[in-house]
Structure 1
């Protein structure tokens, strides 16, 4: 029971205590890529710790003193696992079902979210084929819509879309800056971490980690795209473009230039802060790798 209590405590720490503090961390907005990695690591850690805690809580007496070796034995993967072809007992099946549910729940939601996103992007691509006007000079597709909006459809058949309203209100420099922002989303495959946090948030709706991870990851990905655009375009051009297209809403399956946390991003663009020391990024990387391994080390012990 000591192992189970330690794993439960670790899952509670990762799922409820750390997320609000990470969401308020000042370094996160100065190193958004490292912060996104940290949120992904926390989600993996919570699933691993919770699955192992559930396993230990429903553990049969036969495996109580075997730790993770007992779990592998139940799966038939342990060195001492019986070589018999006879089916496992109902008790062993139930022991496996509980932790597997913790793992398969977010994976199931990930499959569903991916399918919905792909289907939505397919509908948008079909619509663009009918009403969109190619603009090779911008590497984008123009749609006849009065509200200023710029967004991208990520994935295999990626597309950057600009409305007529955006062309009317944006200067050439502003348009180029916001287009670079959208291309950063596509090149960085930002739709993948968006899908991961969406699936995790749906699987664990009640969990503070799920809420904070989704909110912060969406914001941080926009900051990463902002930084990419600022490599080649001025801060004033990007900031003005953000204001002009802030009201525009991207369709389902797309990523809009207005994005989440527009005011926070605007302040960040206009009042840049120095990047954190390289040691912070390395420390975040090390912690992200170590965090999901710790519950495995705890579970390995007898």
Structure 2
């Protein structure tokens, strides 16, 4: 039995239906780390499903005649007048999944390297213009607008403007610095690069578009939660409001930014973590989702 129809249906459901259901759910903002993992799991599952669907479409079977090669042959898209070449089908069955994998890996490498270069250039400029504060464990930059951001990576930096140092209270300043430290400790730049890479390969796919947007938002919420463990919600919210208009260099994470309004409502509103049973169930399903395309393509007990 050829699994191509089921795999095509599965990837369509993951790519088009699952994002809509996840966006309508109320729990992701209450468990942003878990929600970000779900988005990334969906991307992995879609990639595996697409690769396996391409393989099964290309492979000759008695039910689908000569697979994709046979379909092209029956439509007149062939060279010569003979029957479809099984060797061509075999090569196509390997080439199509490989192309998907190579495209994703290459895109990830491109986004990681590009972001690293941008951060390196900006870090060198910041080190020249600003000065390191041992008390804040950050680089203070002369800038007349309250702002704070981090440059993650191997040589991480937290950058804060001197206006923020002057205008924010010690608790507000501490909340901002803890927020930025959360991005660095969590290596959030890698998760964001993975979402960017997936979007570059599957640009028109709803899953790719929403996963990139939601990953950026959810990672900010994860950093907010780290800051809220040691500082009050009022201090963090006030600091976020003060820095909402500040601009952030490419490749950096900022406490302010375009998602401030959504995050302010979350920080100041009631925060109730999901029930442990619900959290565990979602985590278990998340771990199993990447295996589903493999089970469809290689059902146990069938030879």
Shift of 1:278: 0.8
Pair 1:17-2:17 in alignment: yes
Instruction: Please state how far the C-alpha of 1:290 moved relative to its aligned partner.
Output: 1.2
Tell me if 1:239 matches 2:237.
yes
**Per-residue deviation, residues 199-218 of structure 1 (Å, max 9, x unmatched):** 11111110000111111111
Match of residue 151, structure 1, among 149, 152, 156: 149
Query: Gaps (5+ residues) in structure 2?
Result: 66-85
Alpha-carbon distance between aligned partners in 1 of 2:250 and 2:220, rounded to the nearest angstrom: 17
Secondary structure of 1:161's counterpart equals strand
* CA shift in 2, pair 1:229/1:19, >3 Å: same
Equivalent in 239, 249, 252 of residue 251 of structure 1: 249
The aligned length equals 280
Structure 1 residue matching 2:37: 3-state secondary structure:
helix
TM-score, normalisation: structure 1: 0.88
Q: Contact 1:222 / 1:260 at 8 angstroms: preserved in 2?
A: no
Q: Aligned to 1:136, which of 134, 137, 149?
A: 134
Matches within 5 A, 1:110-125: 110-125=108-123
Q: CA deviation at 1:129?
A: 2.1
Map of 1:86-235 to 2, 5 A cutoff? 89-235=87-233
The alpha carbon displacement at 1:91 in A equals 4.0
**Conserved? CA contact 2:104–2:198, under 8 Å:** yes
For structure 1, which runs of at least 5 residues remain unmatched after alignment? Answer: 66-87
Give the CA deviation at 1:62. Answer: 8.7
Q: TM-score, normalised by structure 2?
A: 0.88
8 A contact 1:60–1:95 mirrored in 2:
no
Corresponding residue for 1:297? 295
Larger RCO, structure (CA 8 Å, separation 6 or more): 1
Counterparts of 1:294 and 1:261 in 2: how far apart (Å)? 34
State the Cα deviation string for residues 133-152 of structure 1 (Å, max 9, x = none). Answer: 11111110011112221000
Question: Within 1, Cα distance between the matches of 2:170 and 2:177?
Answer: 11
